[in-house]
Chains A and B, each alone.
Chain A
């Protein structure tokens, strides 16, 4: 997939004669006969395998030591789509955008395909056959020295199998040390709980119990390891029929998904959150009226909601803030009701990365085995990890990609993809998840378990080891059950009693920065990217091109400024600025975003990879890096934020590949936009709704012709804006399901992105505390679709079931339909965006395609089909059983993965169907109904629940 995105960008640069030649070649090379397809069945078909049908397997994938439980669809034994595991207690069928995108990595041509040994500056391809005996010999020597000089650098993992190997390693190599590094670790949380309780504890929020949810820089619905479950619970508590609907208070420096969903949001500089919380605690303890109406009202509500409130703190906040939050929660009696504590893995006895770096510099490390991770890229900059590695005679890096670290080590070992691996891991609630492969490694790749097994001469192979560790003494039947479910039932961690220790938090010296912005004392906040996380997904073109939920930015990051800050510093949107921290400088793009705290600048991690691959950037092959590498400014003493930032505008302009905003920079546009948004993406306060439930709907005007009455099924959709949190999961699901191509940065800048479902994001209200509206937009399959009547060749028409069908091979590409579509959901193939994948040598990449969906070529229009292939599959299935498909049996890709179940699909003709009932709901309205196009999608108003006092204060 990845390399295909180079194509269009090249085209613009391609020289003319080449093209002439190419076109001639194209004509001749392709031959002039129909291609003949051959069918290759198995001699002995495995039981339960029916050609042309899909099968599903439960497995899981681990990120930062937390599992996501997945259900993977496999076609002909090829995994083609990742969904959430419906049985899993937390995920319940939902999967995050990043989990779903993992399928792309499996077939990514950059995903490492062989061993590489670096020797005297040159690198040589190697095979395991060569490696294994040599390595065994080497390890024997190491063992003779009791493992002196052996260091294992690993990502934190919740795998029991890995743990068991680790203990065995300790026996075999007593001198060896185990090191863990994770750029976005939970260090602060653990430290906080230790401060509050003297032990490492993990907070298990029980949002279904919460009436007042306070998030201090905590992105519960975005980056939190249990975001899916949190979001689902949140959405459930927001339903208008809820007697006591939840109110969400957010205090943060930069808009997060949680902040976007907030009823009351306060943009506060990161470093101001500790003072804020101190003030709050003081006020709750009956102290005098603290400063600020916000804090006042919050305190009152917290007191009123004793035992039904929850104060959550984000991982970036220092230990003190976490400790305070624990204490407040305890004092308000929330503990045990709105949140539970469970054991958190305590990294005690694990070596710090810094210590390791020093050892390496000192030459004390002879053999360094790096299991995953990419420290050369993401280690604190002052450690100079790349330089340190030069002092290590033998450094092996087991990784998915031949990344920065691999290239700095003496050996790169290809790591098997999660869908090729046996393993185990635990989800946030401690549930033990299984990892079973869906396909034998496509290339000779290995898992950390296998490599570590080799190091400590494990007797068991990976599958046996996993079984032995996860389900010792389980019968075959029980084991099969576990594999079938994908997790061990009822293995969630038990809640533990947490006794509060007494501690005091000194108030930090307040800096009077809020008012006048003193350059050089600005705050720089490092946040993991919502799509690329810490950078591990930087070579995933799907995630690169999925617009960031808030900034709507693709292909790169930018330093986020508040309008005030930008004005004060003379920084403009889409320009380059220089960020200076002490002696370190970095030139990055700047963007201005509402809801950003004044004086606080946020920069997302995970971009600017120099050796990610053809997508994320590869210096060695002159493929420019995407975005800017924030790690260059990130040092151990300021992993989360730095307080002494200096910003210097350079005046150079920089194109940001955004999918919306750039068009609306003029006052007229903004005014119109704000006017329209009230109509298009409707928001009302819960109070208003309760007073007057009906949302006013545009009366359809009288039709000029008598519309034919549709009989039979009428497929339709309902999207609840009240539930949507803009997490992009649906976008990824659609991309994977429908073979939606990636077009690349230049094309996105030209406005030619191909996404079939896009999430419109609007800001309204005051710049500092904007109201954020998300609106997922697919084809509305209008009853009298404007696109159909204008197509000169009838390439788009209505199906018997009322779908607005797009007939690709009839389309000649006049693009008239797209002009006439008021929703602009139609996408045109300006080039053949699949060219690279159809080229020779891309056989593996092609395995990703959903065989049930046509691949569209250049010159044809395409758009959301309501997943017609899924509709047909369900209908066939039902027909085989001699019945009609039941309501809820047909599930579109976007609906399936939506964690908050904001999307519902079904038959409008059946009044009992869920979708029909939602269409009838009082919150329902159709977009642009006044155009008489009769959209088949009904949106349900978003209801916000602002604090009365603050509401009138704002308005």
Chain B
């Protein structure tokens, strides 16, 4: 018995058995009350009729959830395996319903079950850890062997005395009033505080992730279990602390000869026949070779020798503007001396360098070197041509008579 501090919540009548409470329920229903309820330790069969309750909407909710599950599962499986991450698996079609039935079924059941479970509690407005009825000591028997009927004050028909009389007429126990409790229904401070704290803590990792996402770091990314990501095989040019030079790649052994990269033709390899330079390019000079030569020339030679080979490349110009004393200006390829040189010598110069010109032997293949020689020859020709060199058909376009 709680002394009446708060507003009146309801009037509660107690009964000893199913018959009593059922009869009471019918009486109250007939009296036209709506906001009343029966409380019993177990479901009383037929009570809903006695109280005039409508059937619950729960089944429809469950059906809806189940169908959602079906559709979701099917779509997701199609989207993942059939579309987003489509791979040839056992030479089977990307999407086939039979293989997707089990999971579709399971997911349907899962969502439907959620619907039934949570639906029930939500519709019952549970959890509701505090209810004025709990104030009533005797009411605890409602979960043991007591039967109760409570008419709530909010009912339109509710009139404290009349209602009490009605109820009293139905039970031999005294009808008791149940009041809203005075104490606030809010949780104790320490509970709220700790919940708030927990909530805040829960945000920390999230915040950390966000922070990391938008901050630059010089450190390598986190990687807890390395598995195969750390490979101990030595990839190209990797480090091996074992060797003095710290390299995993080892130098060639002096005097060894590599397989199937071996050629003997001295003219091709050195540009010489015996001591003398060859004047013939030891490759068949084709359009491809010339093209190759042009591009290689552009890459390796133009910086110093210039596009047309007059030794006026960017480097040379820059040196000139800076008036570099030490700088040896690149030779013009159209210098008679240079033109007089045999192809082999130009080749040799490219491979092994001359004066301040570095050796390009390591950087380009034998063929490329010869291609450049071929192109240089063409260049020289072009810069020292006479009208006679131009075929008659073309002369007209020269504008000369």
Task: Give A contacts to B, CB under 8 Å.
Answer: 27, 30, 32-42, 44-49, 51-52, 55-58, 71, 75-78, 436-440, 463, 477, 480-481, 483-484, 486, 705-708, 739, 783-786, 788-789, 794, 797-799, 808-809, 834, 837-838, 842-844, 846-847, 849-851, 853-857, 859-860, 934
Q: How far is the CA of A78 from the CA of B228 in the complex (A)?
A: 23
CB-nearest residue of chain B to A464: B255
Q: Which residues of B from 212 to 269 have beta carbons under 8 Å from A?
A: 219-242, 245-253, 255-262, 264, 266
Query: Quick check: A44 and B362 within 8 Å, CB to CB?
Result: yes
Q: Cβ of B391 < 8 Å from any Cβ of A?
A: no
Query: Quick check: A436 and B226 within 8 Å, CB to CB?
Result: no
Q: How far is the CA of A784 from the CA of B88 in the complex (A)?
A: 9
> How distant is B2 from chain A, measured CB to nearest CB, in Å?
58
Partner of B234, one of A34, A58, A799, A846: A846
Q: Cβ of B190 < 8 Å from any Cβ of A?
A: no
Query: Quick check: A438 and B253 within 8 Å, CB to CB?
Result: yes
Query: Quick check: B256 and A438 within 8 Å, CB to CB?
Result: yes
CB-nearest residue of chain B to A837: B232
List, sorted by A's number, 18 A–B pairs whose CB atoms are closer than 8 Å: A32-B224, A35-B230, A40-B238, A55-B261, A58-B259, A77-B251, A436-B256, A439-B250, A481-B262, A484-B258, A484-B259, A705-B92, A705-B93, A784-B92, A809-B228, A846-B233, A851-B234, A934-B91
Query: Quick check: A47 and B362 within 8 Å, CB to CB?
Result: yes
Query: Quick check: B220 and A843 within 8 Å, CB to CB?
Result: no
Contacts known (A33-B222, A483-B256, A846-B234); A789 close to B89, Cβ less than 8 A: yes
CB-nearest residue of chain A to B247: A40
Q: Cβ of B41 < 8 Å from any Cβ of A?
A: no
Query: Quick check: B264 and A851 within 8 Å, CB to CB?
Result: no
Contacts known (A705-B96, A849-B232, A854-B228); A39 close to B238, Cβ less than 8 A: yes
Contacts known (A56-B259, A809-B227, A860-B228); A36 close to B91, Cβ less than 8 A: no
Q: Cβ of B87 < 8 Å from any Cβ of A?
A: yes
A contact residues around B233 at 8 Å (CB): 739, 846, 849-851, 853, 855
B contact residues around A480 at 8 Å (CB): 257, 262, 264
Contacts known (A78-B248, A483-B257, A784-B92); A51 close to B239, Cβ less than 8 A: no
Q: How far is the CA of A76 from the CA of B260 in the complex (A)?
A: 17
B contact residues around A809 at 8 Å (CB): 227-229
B contact residues around A808 at 8 Å (CB): 228
CB-nearest residue of chain A to B99: A789
Q: Cβ of B90 < 8 Å from any Cβ of A?
A: yes
Closest 4 CB pairs of A and B: A76-B249, A77-B250, A849-B233, A798-B88
Query: Quick check: B87 and A34 within 8 Å, CB to CB?
Result: no
> How distant is A550 from chain B, measured CB to nearest CB, in Å?
34
Query: Quick check: B361 and A39 within 8 Å, CB to CB?
Result: no
Given known contacts A846-B232, A851-B236, what 11 new A-B pairs fall within 8 Å (CB)? A35-B220, A55-B259, A76-B237, A440-B251, A708-B88, A797-B88, A842-B232, A843-B240, A843-B242, A857-B228, A859-B227
Query: Quick check: B241 and A34 within 8 Å, CB to CB?
Result: no
Contacts known (A809-B229, A846-B234, A847-B234); A32 close to B223, Cβ less than 8 A: yes
Contacts known (A785-B90, A789-B90); A854 close to B231, Cβ less than 8 A: yes
Query: Quick check: B253 and A440 within 8 Å, CB to CB?
Result: yes
CB-nearest residue of chain A to B80: A794
CB-nearest residue of chain B to A40: B247
> How distant is B154 from chain A, measured CB to nearest CB, in Å?
56
Q: Which residues of B from 131 to 159 have beta carbons under 8 Å from A?
A: none
> How distant is B300 from chain A, measured CB to nearest CB, in Å?
16
> How distant is A795 from chain B, measured CB to nearest CB, in Å?
11
Q: How far is the CA of A647 from the CA of B342 in the complex (A)?
A: 85
Contacts known (A33-B221, A76-B237, A78-B249); A48 close to B91, Cβ less than 8 A: no
Q: Which residues of B from 74 to 129 have beta carbons under 8 Å from A?
A: 85, 87-93, 96
Query: Quick check: A51 and B230 within 8 Å, CB to CB?
Result: no
Query: Quick check: B262 and A484 within 8 Å, CB to CB?
Result: yes
Q: How far is the CA of A35 from the CA of B226 in the complex (A)?
A: 9
B contact residues around A463 at 8 Å (CB): 255
Q: How far is the CA of A783 from the CA of B229 in the complex (A)?
A: 30
CB-nearest residue of chain A to B233: A849
B contact residues around A708 at 8 Å (CB): 88, 91, 93
> How distant is A937 from chain B, measured CB to nearest CB, in Å?
16
A contact residues around B224 at 8 Å (CB): 27, 32
Q: How far is the CA of A849 from the CA of B221 in the complex (A)?
A: 27
CB-nearest residue of chain A to B269: A477
A contact residues around B223 at 8 Å (CB): 32-34
Query: Quick check: B256 and A76 within 8 Å, CB to CB?
Result: no
A contact residues around B266 at 8 Å (CB): 477
Query: Quick check: A783 and B91 within 8 Å, CB to CB?
Result: yes
Contacts known (A55-B258, A71-B259, A797-B87); A32 close to B232, Cβ less than 8 A: no
Query: Quick check: B91 and A78 within 8 Å, CB to CB?
Result: no
> How distant is A914 from chain B, measured CB to nearest CB, in Å?
22
Partner of A57, one of B89, B236, B259: B259
> How distant is A25 from chain B, measured CB to nearest CB, in Å?
14
Contacts known (A480-B262, A809-B228); A706 close to B234, Cβ less than 8 A: no
A contact residues around B89 at 8 Å (CB): 788-789, 794, 797-798
Query: Quick check: B90 and A51 within 8 Å, CB to CB?
Result: no
Query: Quick check: B236 and A52 within 8 Å, CB to CB?
Result: yes
CB-nearest residue of chain A to B81: A794
Q: How far is the CA of A35 from the CA of B223 in the complex (A)?
A: 9
Query: Quick check: B237 and A39 within 8 Å, CB to CB?
Result: yes
Partner of B248, one of A47, A76, A484, A794: A76
Which of A40, A437, A860 is packed against the most chain B CB atoms within 10 Å?
Answer: A40
Partner of B222, one of A32, A39, A71, A849: A32
Query: Quick check: A77 and B249 within 8 Å, CB to CB?
Result: yes
A contact residues around B96 at 8 Å (CB): 705
Q: How far is the CA of A706 from the CA of B92 in the complex (A)?
A: 8
Contact with A along B146-183 (1 / 0, CB 8 A): 00000000000000000000000000000000000000
Query: Quick check: B249 and A34 within 8 Å, CB to CB?
Result: no
> How distant is A719 from chain B, measured CB to nearest CB, in Å?
22
> How distant is A88 from chain B, measured CB to nearest CB, in Å?
12
> How distant is A86 from chain B, measured CB to nearest CB, in Å?
9
Query: Quick check: A37 and B226 within 8 Å, CB to CB?
Result: no
Query: Quick check: B256 and A47 within 8 Å, CB to CB?
Result: no
Which of B93, B226, B239 is packed against the most chain A CB atoms within 10 Å?
Answer: B226
Query: Quick check: B92 and A56 within 8 Å, CB to CB?
Result: no
Query: Quick check: B90 and A786 within 8 Å, CB to CB?
Result: yes
Q: How far is the CA of A49 from the CA of B249 in the complex (A)?
A: 11
CB-nearest residue of chain B to A439: B250
Query: Quick check: B258 and A57 within 8 Å, CB to CB?
Result: yes
Q: How far is the CA of A32 from the CA of B221 in the complex (A)?
A: 8
Query: Quick check: B237 and A51 within 8 Å, CB to CB?
Result: yes
> How distant is A194 from chain B, measured CB to nearest CB, in Å?
40
B contact residues around A842 at 8 Å (CB): 232
Which of B88, B232, B248 is packed against the most chain A CB atoms within 10 Å?
Answer: B88
Query: Quick check: B92 and A789 within 8 Å, CB to CB?
Result: yes
CB-nearest residue of chain B to A434: B257
> How distant is B191 from chain A, measured CB to nearest CB, in Å?
37
Q: How far is the CA of A40 from the CA of B229 in the complex (A)?
A: 20
Query: Quick check: A34 and B220 within 8 Å, CB to CB?
Result: yes
Q: How far is the CA of A476 from the CA of B59 in the complex (A)?
A: 96
B contact residues around A55 at 8 Å (CB): 258-259, 261
A contact residues around B245 at 8 Å (CB): 40
Contacts known (A47-B361, A838-B232, A855-B232); A40 close to B246, Cβ less than 8 A: yes
Q: How far is the CA of A49 from the CA of B228 in the complex (A)?
A: 29
B contact residues around A51 at 8 Å (CB): 236-237, 249
B contact residues around A436 at 8 Å (CB): 253, 255-257
> How distant is B234 from chain A, measured CB to nearest CB, in Å?
6
> How distant is A794 from chain B, measured CB to nearest CB, in Å?
6
CB-nearest residue of chain A to B266: A477
Contacts known (A783-B91, A847-B240); A46 close to B251, Cβ less than 8 A: yes
CB-nearest residue of chain B to A934: B91
Q: How far is the CA of A439 from the CA of B256 in the complex (A)?
A: 10
CB-nearest residue of chain B to A37: B238
Query: Quick check: B228 and A36 within 8 Å, CB to CB?
Result: no
